[in-house]
Structure 1
């Protein structure tokens, strides 16, 4: 009974439950006693219950986590074990393989759910049991020891199988796994230890097996290892074989330690002690308890003790075992009556003593210390017998026989008794009892140590940080208290310095308010999060802040708000417009009327007033902050009484202004927040910036306010008006009181709504007129730019068309419009006004105020105003399309002229297209008509400029070819020695020549040649040809008519040079023309015929005088193609006309007078245009 009770209270779950119960009771009864200053975190029942529940849930969660982790590890381990369960042995029949597979699967399914009870009463998974490994040579008695160990094997009981182990688990058929209710025992194949059959295969299998253990039991793969040492092997093997076996065992131990990364206890089990002669006889009297006892030695435990030191204790301990046998010898001798058995009993202690040296040599070999290997942990040496089979070995008699040459009699085999000796308590009490001695994996332990160290470090640092935080918090809070205390006297003085009401300015309380607000415990500062280093349960700001807040609110009430009221009174008195006066009165009344106070509106109005006062701008931010704080404490306490006289007088004055105007002004101030403005850049499409500019200089990204767009009308104005008008009618009732212009109150809503709408629509028209009147086509610097603009405007996605369509859409309010404001007022006041309609019943039923089907909607006034603009884009095709088509035609015309001029051809006149496009532009409403006219004029001027440049280039090109032949040459350069060739002269001046062709082709339409004086034409105010060029071209025409009469292709000049007078002393004048002499007698009216050009290749004219005394007088000669012209140039005209020109020539010192007779008034020999002509230069 007592044992069961003791076991019950040792159960881990019972202890845990008791601990949780005690902790819960402690929290429940003592929790409210815990206080941090005035705060009691566990003062409420809910807080204590919550903490208890949190602890219990935390414990349950932790246990659940551990259970899940163990279950998962157990599942993974079993899955790995099942990997080789289906491996077959070629030596087994198919039936045996199937039977083994069935048993294996059944066993695994049992193990997956099996739970094993531990020492504390808890139930563990297979993974959580201690694990031991048997190491020994083949046939060393490992399996026999397990079968006869007296341990309980639940798996055999569950499956009903006689086999106590699972064979072939983990991929090899040479390792049996024994599952007891206290531990898992791994019976490895003996060949793993010796690795004598196939070392490479056995070593690989052994290594794989160890890795499997390490994988699924990483923290503690094994709790210990049992090394079996068979008596039969000790006696049967020679010294070398025993040494080899010892070295193999040592190697396996080191591989276990190294691979698994842990150091665990080793137990040496000397098996098959029943083969010692006399064992069965000596132990025959032992009962069950005696056979279960431990027969061996357990060495004292020292974690760092060397194994060889423990082995050193073996001799003493083994001698003690032999002594114990000798003490029991007499008793057994007396009990045994059979002489032969008595003799065997007598020799048994010596038989046991004979083992000492063999076991000692094995221990010395296995457990000797080495600097290059892990120190084995030898815990003890134990003698056991699993079953009594085989022939006993009488080593004592054998030694004697060998010494004296006697014949050794072989003892008969012992009959199996089915009893085990010295195993049960050895396994349960010694081996399993020391399961905690098995070290953990060094790698895992190092990791755990690092984690633990980190945890303790964090805990320690956290504790230090908490202590430091408390210290810092205490110092900072002490400084906070000191700071507030030090500021108190100054605050008192500042508050006392505020002038008494009603004198003073709204800024008078600012120093005191700012000083209070600057304190670290002021309300505005405490709204921010307090630093952690100032809290930690020590914060004093709340206590101090409540006092500061009280003083702050008192100043706002007694000093600040009264001055706000006084300023509003002044604003009411001095307002320069009824609208401002109304809003100021409304704000003033809000201060004294909690029912109608809207803090946001009052704050916005007062702030706007302060912003407009330059003297207050420096303090604007501070004033706004305190006003906001004052309006957060409602209802307001006003210590300054309201000025009733001011209110009544103001109401009387305001009642004279129409309500509709005030409503409309309010709408304008409110604007539209959620709708976009109409932007010229969007309405005219993506090419708007290439086509339009604003005359005012504003960007095209600006346009018309969203309030004056179709969406603004439908979604903003109508919705706002139908709520705002009833609201303001009601508002007027309390702002203006009995003086309200609404008269009957809400009965005035429809009329006010209608008046507001007309104001709005008029403003709507103004807004769009302003935009349209401000739009201009983008200036074009040259004709190319103008043509590109025409291309853009006449394209399918014309920005002009898009603009007009967008404007039409925005200004068609009546077409498909929402119910008019008046209709809304009459039919419904909608949402906000519905409650009002219910109160006034049928007062809104007057059909004259409703927008009936037969009446024009108010919105139609906008459409009427923009009717012409709408018509331009109405229909298919629209009138605008015809205009754009003409614009396209003009663009093509201009491009043709550009190409013609580029080829050197004369541009076409634009008179017809000009009349056509101007006619279309006249039919278009502004701004389209004026814009198109402006574009046409600009293009025409630019076209003329282009023509002028082209004609100038043509003229310059024509002149360039004659420049070298004409400039600096006679007759165009008087006195020049060089002459212009007759061919060059003809090519330049002849009919169809260079200049004649230029005038008749390229300059046609650019020069007026009809008058006496040619003129350059200027169709658009720009002369196409320079005046100097026109004059020279006219001179060339005169030269052509004089030199090429009748359209002759070659120049032809005919004249007579008649001698009319000589000075005294001259008897005869001789003229030689190209070698032909003509003698002219003075007074005989004789002359010489002149035909030019001369046919003589070397033309020459010589005039010589024969004096009256028959002597030769002076002479003059003129040579070259232009000799005759040089002669005439040398003469001075003294009279006559163009046909009979009197010319005087000085020959030497003698003057001779001739009469040059020509058949034309344009005498080529004396032609002024020939002397005046200059090559035109364009």
Structure 2
């Protein structure tokens, strides 16, 4: 029966063992991998489909678990060994060598060494000697010393700690070898004894550790060392609990003061444990020597062995004891009363069973003795465990009464109290029997209660709650996961079923489309493309992409990969039948229509065309690239970007991962014609056009522009004359880095590769492949073609580069300021340009002697070319070194490089001197601006002229830039000055001028109003308003030697026309420096009508008469001497009748001739005036005293008063 019970017990322990369930879980996981693994798919890939893969995953999981178990075992064994090693040397170190306790310590050390040797080789736990399953189970459940729960006994000396351990009924591994007395020690515990059981490690500390009553300093040091040892070797959980012992004799045999001191000492030890170890742990109060209560032995004498092992005490509820408002004394009183009630409840039965009257008295008195202990014990517990704001106490788990052996003097508080009340002499206390009694209430307390609560250390109620929540949540998650899996599989099955049906429904539709596409339709991509799209997407639905299906279609049941594989086969057949003929025709058409002036295109088209007939040289990527370029312009105009992308995808699928040959016969005549056209070019020409087309993308990163070369200020000063963006620069292939990093590195290798490629592309013999000796010459020939383009590209770019608009003075100042700054963009551009056009290695390190010498040679060549011609100059001066073909570029741009070279005897480069001249222009513009703002005339300066002169010696693009800046500097100043002077003239002259002459004769010929002579003189006389303003403000800046007048160095300005006309009027009407206007003319009669006898012209008293006599000239002046401002013309007919008219006013003479018909004479100063009166005509010749004839002076009508521009 006992064997069966033992087996059942071990079996139950096996069922709840965590490690057994880990093994079960591993087996379940392995089964899931083995059975479900083949159903798991990632797209079309099934990683666990093969047996080997599944075995490998299972073995990997088991290996990881085994490695973790081995590591934990190794770590536990290592910590166990370290702990035992420390324990062996810990005790004697705390004792002075000369102490009288040394022999006992040595004896205990020897015994402990023996225990350590046993524990190093065997883990704790009994092994079934009979073998079988029980033996293996015990091997699985045994633990290392480090892994067992640890408890410490704390109590005053003689409180019964060791006695409780010895008589606890626990199994001690060392007892078989040394006996129980040896384990206990001799004469009580001096330091600390280590008790190793199968369930826990019990540390029995010396009583002086608790009270520090022997040697306070030594006791305190040993206690702190003990705590440090615990914390060092069990850092995670130094203790699982503490057993606080207080004997009945200490409670009843001491005064209240002594009990309080005792309680405070124990409280302090517990606080030190809590503080030093840093964890929370339960404390169990053991009231030992309960047998000293009178009647204890008699009351419990009837208990059997099993009954004596039960627990006698009370345990506080975890939730209640851990609460913030826990009332310890109230809880103690409540539980204590329950114990007392239990004692009373059992009295009738015990009293009835006991025949001896004396023993019945003792049995009857025990509940009263127990009640008498209530206040003392309650006060003691409260003093030790009461809570405070200033310290943190461990968790009081419960209070328990025990008895290890029945010896000592019995305390009878009931009888003692009665005798004191009755004043009877006390009877001496009665001693109990000798040692060797029975133990009460220990084993179950330790083994079933305390050891089973080992997990309470270091945790709290919230931790337990979290564990419950986590456990509950884990089960809930597993349940939800199971439900999700079921629903997932169910949903996946129905969705895949619907998906398969949908794909199947598309097949007849696509089949019908294929039947409708004829062979002729293959030439029209617009007909073919929808069919190819439908076939390619047959396995894809609006909600599903077979390449990346949604999770709801997976769950191991997805059928899209199988359908997609079948669809791919159909799709590739359709590509071969529909798209391949179109692609082949497209390449043939491209080859046939290749432009004659684009050999690179013709070569690429021929190469792609031949690949469809030559599997040895087949390159699908190249064919796709050619087709993509060809399809771009040839597709219908209504093709959308989506259709173009779809076509590009079909072409890629057609040629990818396989060799595809044309379904048509090769057109030999076409191939031969293209080959003949290409062979008309030299090898170098053919290679060069291919290289430039191929290398442009690789060299694109080296593209340079003015912004890159001149810095961030480039956009402030530069622009492109063509209107192109300043960021659109020179292609990267035609830059310094593009040449050396791309073109030069590829050209030599390309000669050999291209030579071999031409063998099959152009149908040449193998002997046509260049030899190593010829390859160098061919490479240099290719370079020569490249350098020609290099020069052209840079010339075109530089000739398009200009300065920003400088027509306005602020812009001119801004550009001059930026160009002349310390970090001048012009200097940076010149340096960068010199670097880009200096390709000879080391040539741009510039500016050494060799570079300058070469530049002088280039300059000499240019001079000779101008004198003798280029051919003779080339023979006279060799500008190109055969070993440095790049010198062609250097020679062409020698002038640019010279700008940035620094002569040893000079402070800077020529371009630095140019920047200084620009700075002088900026200084001039700044001064002119200040003067113009203040209304003054700008100071004279030759800085713009010197800059323009320097520009004539500069290379492109600097020549045009500097010339533009010089012109703009002067022009912008004069334009502002023109505007300012116009405003000034308008303010000083304009108003009066407009009042005096506008709408008046002679400036308005049809006007009846006359300009007064005084106003006329005030405006136009020498020193008058017009002349005075010109002399003071304009004469120094205006070039009057040209017509029309203009400001020095720049074009004419409308403002100057008024002063130019005024000067002519002044010279015409104010001859000889006169201050009043006057006219002097010579009048000579010419002819007269026969019906007239004479005509008479009276000019203010100056008479000219003609009567068919001599034609003598007469000089007249206006105004005349008569002072009448009157001119009279009269005729006399033969009949004696007269006719005529009179003109009055300051301009009467001019008005007279306005009535005549004027005709030009033989000279500019002569005019013929014809008159007609009464139908009788006569004529006279009028000759002015100047070529500027005042009678018909155009400046009078052209004159306008100065006004704001």
**TM-score, length basis structure 2:** 0.63
Q: Secondary structure at the match of 2:693?
A: helix
Is the 1:296–1:321 Cα contact (8 Å) retained in structure 2? no
1:775 counterpart residue number: 801
Q: Residue deviations 1:1071-1118, cap 9 Å, x none?
A: xxxxxxxxxxxxxxxxxxxxxxxxxxxxxxxxxxxxxxxxxxxxxxxx
**Of 149, 169, 176, the match for 1:129:** 149
Q: Distance in 2 between matches of 1:30 and 1:1175?
A: 109
The yes-or-no answer on 1:614 pairing with 2:635 is: yes
Q: Secondary structure at the match of 2:612?
A: helix
Pair 1:765–1:742, CA change in 2 (3 A): farther
Q: Distance in 2 between matches of 1:381 and 1:434?
A: 14
1:428 counterpart residue number: 443
Pair 1:641–1:166, CA change in 2 (3 A): farther
The yes-or-no answer on 1:117 pairing with 2:124 is: yes
Is the 1:491–1:512 Cα contact (8 Å) retained in structure 2? yes
Pair 1:796–1:320, CA change in 2 (3 A): same
**Of 562, 587, 609, the match for 2:581:** 562
Q: Distance in 2 between matches of 1:73 and 1:33?
A: 43
**Of 457, 473, 481, the match for 1:462:** 481
Between 1:573-582 and 1:223-232, the stretch displaced more is: 223-232
Q: Residue deviations 1:612-639, cap 9 Å, x none?
A: 2132844321221112122223233665
Q: Secondary structure at the match of 2:840?
A: coil
Q: Distance in 1 between matches of 2:939 and 2:80?
A: 100
1:690 counterpart residue number: 716
**Of 752, 756, 766, the match for 1:730:** 756
1:586 counterpart residue number: 607
Q: Distance in 2 between matches of 1:637 and 1:989?
A: 97
Is the 2:523–2:582 Cα contact (8 Å) retained in structure 1? yes
The yes-or-no answer on 1:499 pairing with 2:507 is: no
2:1122 counterpart residue number: 1142
Q: Residue deviations 1:1013-1070, cap 9 Å, x none?
A: 998877633259645456768989999999999xxxxx9xxxxxxxxxxxxxxxxxxx
Q: Residue deviations 1:131-154, cap 9 Å, x none?
A: 48789x998766654566576598
2:381 counterpart residue number: none
The yes-or-no answer on 1:354 pairing with 2:365 is: yes
Pair 1:382–1:885, CA change in 2 (3 A): closer
Is the 1:227–1:269 Cα contact (8 Å) retained in structure 2? yes
1:477 positional shift:
1.6
The yes-or-no answer on 1:481 pairing with 2:481 is: no
**Of 941, 957, 960, the match for 1:930:** 960
Q: Residue deviations 1:16-54, cap 9 Å, x none?
A: 898888988999999866665597948635643542452
Q: Distance in 1 between matches of 2:757 and 2:468?
A: 78
1:677 positional shift:
0.8
Is the 2:293–2:412 Cα contact (8 Å) retained in structure 1? no
Alignment of 1:543-558 (within 5 A): 543-558=562-577
1:324 positional shift:
6.8
**Of 64, 76, 83, the match for 1:57:** 64
The yes-or-no answer on 1:445 pairing with 2:464 is: yes
1:707 counterpart residue number: 733
Q: Distance in 2 between matches of 1:1037 and 1:569?
A: 85
The yes-or-no answer on 1:1021 pairing with 2:1055 is: no
Is the 2:807–2:971 Cα contact (8 Å) retained in structure 1? no
Q: Secondary structure at the match of 1:738?
A: coil
The yes-or-no answer on 1:869 pairing with 2:880 is: no
1:809 counterpart residue number: 835
Is the 1:579–1:662 Cα contact (8 Å) retained in structure 2? yes
Alignment of 1:9-158 (within 5 A): 36=38, 41=48, 44-45=51-52, 47-48=54-55, 50-55=57-62, 57-58=64-65, 61=68, 117=124, 122-125=142-145, 128-129=148-149, 131=151, 145-146=164-165
Q: Distance in 1 between matches of 2:114 and 2:993?
A: 123
Q: Distance in 1 between matches of 2:1024 and 2:515?
A: 110
2:825 counterpart residue number: 799
Q: RMSD of the TM alignment (CA)?
A: 6.9
1:771 positional shift:
0.8
Alignment of 1:533-552 (within 5 A): 533-552=552-571
Q: Residue deviations 1:147-205, cap 9 Å, x none?
A: 665765989999996476586xxxxxxxx997553454789999999xxxxxxxxxxx9
Q: Residue deviations 1:735-768, cap 9 Å, x none?
A: 1223799476888644543332222111111101
Q: Distance in 2 between matches of 1:638 and 1:379?
A: 100
Is the 2:948–2:967 Cα contact (8 Å) retained in structure 1? no
Pair 1:111–1:324, CA change in 2 (3 A): farther
Q: Residue deviations 1:298-340, cap 9 Å, x none?
A: 68999999966675443454565667765xx8xxxxxxxxxxx
Q: Residue deviations 1:527-578, cap 9 Å, x none?
A: 7433332222212222222222222222223332233223222332333334
2:248 counterpart residue number: 230
Pair 1:1002–1:110, CA change in 2 (3 A): farther
Is the 2:615–2:661 Cα contact (8 Å) retained in structure 1? no
1:1117 counterpart residue number: none
Q: Distance in 1 between matches of 2:649 and 2:569?
A: 17
1:950 positional shift:
4.6
Pair 1:1028–1:141, CA change in 2 (3 A): closer
**Of 1002, 1005, 1027, the match for 2:1036:** 1005
Pair 1:13–1:960, CA change in 2 (3 A): same
Is the 2:935–2:980 Cα contact (8 Å) retained in structure 1? yes
1:806 positional shift:
2.3
Is the 1:523–1:549 Cα contact (8 Å) retained in structure 2? no
Q: Distance in 2 between matches of 1:53 and 1:261?
A: 40
1:112 positional shift:
12
2:1156 counterpart residue number: none
1:879 positional shift:
4.4
Structure 2: 5+ residue stretches without partners: 41-45, 127-137, 212-222, 319-333, 379-385, 388-394, 845-877, 1003-1011, 1077-1098, 1104-1115, 1127-1141, 1145-1183
Question: Is the radius of gyration larger for structure 1 or structure 2?
Answer: 1
Q: Distance in 1 between matches of 2:1200 and 2:53?
A: 118
Pair 1:320–1:887, CA change in 2 (3 A): same
Q: Secondary structure at the match of 2:743?
A: helix
2:1082 counterpart residue number: none
Structure 1: 5+ residue stretches without partners: 168-175, 194-204, 330-345, 819-850, 973-979, 1046-1050, 1052-1130, 1154-1160
Pair 1:459–1:112, CA change in 2 (3 A): farther
Q: Distance in 2 between matches of 1:734 and 1:52?
A: 57
**Of 935, 951, 959, the match for 1:921:** 951
Q: Distance in 2 between matches of 1:349 and 1:277?
A: 12
Alignment of 1:596-995 (within 5 A): 596-615=617-636, 617-618=639-640, 619-636=643-660, 640=664, 642-644=666-668, 646-648=670-672, 650-670=674-694, 671-673=696-698, 675-738=701-764, 742=768, 749-816=775-842, 855=882, 857-876=884-903, 877=906, 878-893=909-924, 895-896=926-927, 916-952=946-982, 955=985
1:1002 positional shift:
3.7
1:858 positional shift:
3.0
Q: Secondary structure at the match of 2:724?
A: coil
Count of matched residue pairs: 954
Q: Distance in 2 between matches of 1:301 and 1:908?
A: 116
Q: Secondary structure at the match of 1:937?
A: helix
Is the 1:9–1:15 Cα contact (8 Å) retained in structure 2? no
Q: Distance in 2 between matches of 1:1026 and 1:478?
A: 96
Is the 1:130–1:184 Cα contact (8 Å) retained in structure 2? yes
Is the 1:558–1:639 Cα contact (8 Å) retained in structure 2? no
Q: Distance in 2 between matches of 1:28 and 1:897?
A: 96
1:129 positional shift:
2.2
1:834 counterpart residue number: none
